[in-house]
Each structure stands twice: as C-alpha cells, then as structure tokens.
Amino acid sequence: MSYSADKKGTIQYSQPGLSEDLGTSLAIFEEIFTDDVTFQLREFSCRSDNRVRCATLYLDGMISSRIINEDIIQPITLAHLENTSGLFQTILTSVIVGGEITQESDMDSIIKALLYGDTILLVHGFAQAIVVGSKGFTVRSISEPDDEKSLRGPREGFTESVMMNASMVRRKLQTSDLKFKSRTFGTRSNTRAFICYLDSLVDKGILAELETRLDRICIDGALDINYIQEHIKDSPRSIFKTCGNTEKPDVVAAKLLEGRVAIILDGTPIVLTVPYLFIENLQVTDDYYTNFYYGNIGRILRILGFFITISAPAVYVSLVSFHPEMIPTGLMLSIAAANSKVPFPTVVECMGMLAVFEILRETGIRTPNKIGSALSIVGALIVGQAAVEARIVSAPVVIIISLTGITGLMVPRMSGAVIFLRFALIAAAACLGFYGYFLALIALFFYITGLESFGVDYSSQLFSYNPAHLKDIYLRPSMSRMNTRPLTFNNDVER
C-alpha cells in the first residue's frame, strides 16, 4: 500500500513524492483511490511529439469539465511541444490556460487539492504535479437566511461555500487590513475554514487564545460550525452560548469592526464570531438599520421578552400557589373560577403545558411544510381549546404558556437556555413561591456574571456606571453618537 490511515483518520503516504515515470505516479494514485468510482484519470499526449505524455487526475462531480477540456487537455494536445528538460515549465507558464495554477510536489498537498476539486496534471519525466483550480461543484445560491430576517438592510446570507462566504465578507470590508487565515478541521473531512479578522482592531491576545484552542481540536469530521464551537467555547457545559452564530455577512462585518474574530467553515452557512457577550443575544440588525427610536423599542421589548419568557410561568405559579393575596381580588376570582374543576396543581399544569408547547415546537421544525398548517390547527385546537373545555388545564395557564412561547420567539439565540431556565424557575417557584423564584433569579444573575468568552466577561458592560460602557447595551444611541467601539476587548476606541 502506498498509504496507511490510522483510526483517527490521519493518512501517511509511503511515497512522499511523485515518480518521474508517469506510469509509476499514476499507479500510486490508482492505488490510493482504489474502489473510488469518482476518481477519474485520463492520459493523453501532445500531437506534435507523442513522447510528451501527460495525465489529468480529478474527482468526478467536483470539477468543471470545461476547464479540464478547454484549459488543460486541448492546449497541451494542440501545442508544439518538445520533450525537453524545460517541458514542465513550458506547460506551466505557456500552455495551460487558467488563473489558479500551482506547482506541487508534496503528496499530501496534491491529494488534498484533488479532494477539494482541483485537477492534477502530471507530466511524464517530472516528479512534480501542476495543480489547476477547476472547482466546479454546485453550491446553493445566495438567499436571505430564514432565521435572521430583517425589515431593512442587506438580504444576502452565507452559503455552504467557504470561498463564497469569504468573498461576501470581503465585499463588505474592502481593506487589506482584513485577514483570512486558513485552517483545516477534521482528519477525515479535511474541512477548510478561515479565521477572519481586522488586523488593526483585533485583540492579539484573543486571537492567540482562539488559535490555541483551535489547535487543540482533534475530530475526524467538522460538518457544521457547532463541531468547532463546542470545542472552543469557554464553559462547555454552559446553557448560554459564548460564541456567536450568524448567517449574515453584514453581521460578521459589523462584529469584525468591533474587533471580534470570525471563523468561516466550509460546508455550513453559519459563521462563528468570538468573543460573544450576553447582550449580543438581544441585539439584532434592525436595531441599526432602522430609526433608533424604533430600533430601541424593539430592543426594550426583546429585553422584556427575555424576562417574560423565563419568568411568566414561574411568577404565575408563585402567585397562584403561594401568594394569592398579591393578586387583585377580581383577577384572583377569575383565576379561581377557571381553575375550579382542573384536577392538577398549578405547577403540574404549567410544566405539562410547557412540555406540550416544546413538543409542538419541535414537531413544527421537523414537519414538512405541507402539513405544517394542519399541525398548527391541531395543536391550537387541542391545546388551546379542547384541553380547557375538558378541564384538563385552565384558560389562564394556556394564556401564560402562550405568552411564554411568543416572547420566547423574540430571543431565538437563547432558545436552548430559555427552555432550561423556564423549567428551573418553575421548579424553584413551586418549592418556595416568590422566595424560590428570586433565589433562582439571583443564582442566574451570579451564573451569568461568572461566565467568560475568550477572557472577556460574558456580562461585560451590562452593569456599569460608565455611560460609555452602557452605550449600545440597553439602548442604541443615534449613529452620530456611536463613535466608540466596545471598550471591553478593544484598545482602538474611536471608530
């Protein structure tokens, strides 16, 4: 065997380079790609001198056949070439048409290029290969991401192509200060990724820390950015995300302008940004693309929405089960009347309804669009009406859970954390009423303030007496006053 692979997927080639004999070199490749029908090999020779023998190697489906035919094979076969010692350089510089051509002799690099859709051109008599960029695989066209729709602003979203994604960021920030460092993740997937940052703004310490963490990753495949994210996030078991995800190039550009670092991984439209702070969960692009009065209303509503979605069921349980004296009499009578024939305690009602809501939500995500509307009708009828009429749950609980669910949609970046917090706060409220609820809320507060993202406090700038810190935290000031970058991890303050 000319190569061996260990269990981790690391491949060692017995032949460190190519042979001058074309047949021998081809035999190496044929052996490496045994039982791979996508591997294509074509030998051909020059019309003027049949001693000039060449071969193209590529993987079917990964290349553009037009490039191979018109830019490689056709020019070589038709050219007047002589089998001399300068033949390789002549082909490299004067014969092949194409913009992306490199000379390569390392076996590992040649194989990686071949696997990524490049075409390898071998010339008899030379132990080197010409790598011709011929990527021709189909990628999804640019579209607006469903999860990050905005009222105004750019509509484009990342695709699964790392190069296309990098180009989208490049179009936003047309400066040589924008750097793209290449990396490969996955010993078997060999997924390419770019570490992207603005050199003059990035905190070098954070960048070094990121690279150190990335170096430690040892996985055989990286199919989505989450494979990377979970390896590099600060508190791996934290319910909160300490790395940002976005599908929008404009968001990445904005974060790079604040000195953050982005990781673009091939094969996924999600781009990772670090460091990531708590308040970023509550910021959306419309805050900046619409009038700041309107944008701030939205932000305030999202902040309130976060508290409502984690607290509403817990507060309801506390009020109804422990502190009914705090409810206005009329409202309490309505709640008591609605609860009168329901056989379950309030906490069981709330937990049950939340579980049903989560089931419906998960089902909605997995359901084909065609039956999605039918599902929502069934869900609404069964949960909203039939359950109340059958006295299995009370109407106020349905209202509270609906409010919880609706406000949960306002903070999609914390959807996982929110689900966990809802149940945790209900459990605390069910044990000790408001006393337990506030204990749990204080614990949550401590927990958030204890988190870090790449050395930066996760809650940084949330609690500060310095107005400059609070800028763009709870309220977004007008653009003319947004003249400083976040102070926490950036030395370059002026924008």
Partner 1 sequence: MFKKWISVILSLACALSLSACWDHTEITSMLIVAGIGLDVDDSGKIYHAVVEVINVEEEGGENITAKLVEGSGSSIYAAIQDAMVMTGGTLYTNHCKVVVIGDKLARQGIDGVIDLVLRSPNLRKTLGVLVAKDATARSILTQKTVKNDIVSFELSKMLTSNEVTLNNTRTTGIYQLHEAFISVCPSAVASVVSVKENNGERVLYIEGLSVFWDQRCVGYLDGSRSGAYNLASHTVNTGSIILLDPALSAQPFGVNILQSKAGYTPYIQGDRLVMQVDIQVDATLQGGALLQVDLSDKNAVNQLEISLERKLEADVKNLISHVQSEYGADIFNFYKEFENRYRREWEGLSQDWQSHFKNLEVEVTADVVMGGSGLIENYAPHGEAANALP
| Binding interface with partner 1 (CB under 8 A) | 320-322, 324-325, 329, 332-342, 345-346, 432-433, 435, 439
What phi and psi values does residue 404 have, to the nearest 5 degrees? -60, -45
CA–CA dist 251, 291 (Å, integer) = 18
Residue 433: CB minimum distance to partner 1, A: 7
Residue 402: CB minimum distance to partner 1, A: 19
Tokens representing residue 262 in the block: 């982005």
Q: Is 322 helix (H, G, I), strand (E, B) or coil?
A: coil
452-453 vs 456-457, strand pairing mode? antiparallel
The residues pairing with 274 across neighbouring beta strands, listed in sequence order, are 261
Let me know: does 485 contact 495? Beta carbons within 8 Å.
yes
- Closest CB to partner 1 among 39 and 435? 435
What phi and psi values does residue 95 have, to the nearest 5 degrees? -105, -55
Residue 436: CB minimum distance to partner 1, A: 8
Where b means 16+ CB within 10 Å and e means fewer, 390-421 reads: eebbbbbbbebbbbbbebbebbebbeebbbeb
- Closest CB to partner 1 among 79 and 392? 392
- Closest CB to partner 1 among 205 and 450? 450
CA–CA dist 323, 437 (Å, integer) = 12
- Closest CB to partner 1 among 152 and 341? 341
CA–CA dist 233, 242 (Å, integer) = 6
DSSP 63: B
How would you classify residue 276: left for phi > 0, otherwise alpha for psi between -120 and 50, otherwise beta?
Answer: beta
Residue 209: CB minimum distance to partner 1, A: 25
- Closest CB to partner 1 among 237 and 495? 237
The residues pairing with 264 across neighbouring beta strands, listed in sequence order, are 194, 271
Sequence length of the chain is: 495
Residue 226: CB minimum distance to partner 1, A: 29
- Closest CB to partner 1 among 225 and 338? 338
Going from the C-alpha of 287 to that of each of 244, 362, 449, 476, the distances in angstroms are 17, 29, 25, 7
Residue 423: CB minimum distance to partner 1, A: 19
Residue 239: CB minimum distance to partner 1, A: 18
Residue 339: CB minimum distance to partner 1, A: 5
Residue 109: CB minimum distance to partner 1, A: 47
- Closest CB to partner 1 among 334 and 449? 334
Residue 387: CB minimum distance to partner 1, A: 16
- Asked, as a colleague might, if the bond just before 275 is cis with ω within 30 of 0, I would say yes
List of E strands, 170-290? 178-185, 191-198, 244-246, 261-265, 271-274
Residue 358: CB minimum distance to partner 1, A: 25
244-246 vs 271-274, strand pairing mode? antiparallel
CA angle centred on 248, ends 262 and 296, rounded to 5° = 105
Residue 438: CB minimum distance to partner 1, A: 10
Tokens representing residue 286 in the block: 């419309």
- Closest CB to partner 1 among 334 and 484? 334
- Closest CB to partner 1 among 191 and 318? 318
How would you classify residue 36: left for phi > 0, otherwise alpha for psi between -120 and 50, otherwise beta?
Answer: beta
CA–CA dist 264, 63 (Å, integer) = 22
Residue 334: CB minimum distance to partner 1, A: 8
- Closest CB to partner 1 among 439 and 482? 439
CA–CA dist 211, 415 (Å, integer) = 29
Tokens representing residue 360 in the block: 């419906």
Tokens representing residue 245 in the block: 């995800």
CA–CA dist 201, 212 (Å, integer) = 19
- Closest CB to partner 1 among 405 and 433? 433
CA–CA dist 155, 151 (Å, integer) = 9
- Closest CB to partner 1 among 232 and 351? 351
